[in-house]
A = this chain, B = another copy of it.
Amino acid sequence: PGKKVLIVYAHQEPKSFNGSLLKIAVEELSKQGCSVTVSDLYAMHFEPRATRNDIVGHLHNSEAFNYGVETWEAYKRGGLSKDLIEEQKKVQEADLLIFQFPLFWFNMPAILKGWMDRVLVQGFAYDLSKAYDGGLLQGKLSLFSFTTGGSKEKYAIRGDIRYLLWPMQHGIMHFCGVKVLEPHICYAPENVSEEKRKEMLTAWTQRLKTLWKEEPIDCSPDWYFK
């Protein structure tokens, strides 16, 4: 109650299963008295490419463009592009970040990866000696909620699905000091019965009801590769 949630959502179709998961999260969290903001990346035509356009005005070094250095410098002088400043404000205010997306190639869709690349710049999300438990976004929680194309068994054949969570959960969120809740995975919603799909949606509603009582995972290699 009173908590702020940012849902970063990456699906093209509101009628999709991801769309239903988003709707449930907005409704359930609002019902709890949380304030919920959604960044609907496809609807916003969110730009995933990291380019010179992200810096307003002069460059720190116009001889050789270095995206990391330029966005860091621009952040410090308030010179990032408007769309990035808006996303950073949403992140800053949020107690919980939920990422809702279909898994594409063992990973986030490019539009969501672009959100990570462009929004979480140095100075805002981390700094030279301020990473991992010292990351600049300490005190926040995150949750990766995604659907897969293949069944749970398909993923199990060649390794645990947790393997692919390492770059996202550890490499990004943990690096910024954000704690990570258990991922929420809906396996192959397109290939199961309508009944099973309904069960999956109910399970998400149920989980959200007690979400604030959950303990973050221990984001160490052990969790991923034990």
Which residues of A does B touch, CB under 8 Å?
Answer: 12-13, 15-16, 42, 45, 48-52, 63-68, 104-111, 113-114, 116-118, 120, 132, 149, 158-159, 163-164, 166-168, 170-172, 175, 190, 220-221, 224-225
How far is B194's CA from A51's CA once the two chains are assembled, in angstroms?
26
A52 engages B111 (CB within 8 Å) = no
A166 engages B106 (CB within 8 Å) = yes
Candidates B51, B109, B120; contact of A50 at CB < 8 Å: B109
Cβ contacts under 8 Å, A49 to chain B: 42, 45, 48, 110-111
B132 engages A117 (CB within 8 Å) = no
Chain B residue at minimal CB-CB distance from A49: B111
Chain B residue at minimal CB-CB distance from A166: B163
A51 engages B105 (CB within 8 Å) = no
Candidates B52, B63, B167; contact of A105 at CB < 8 Å: B167
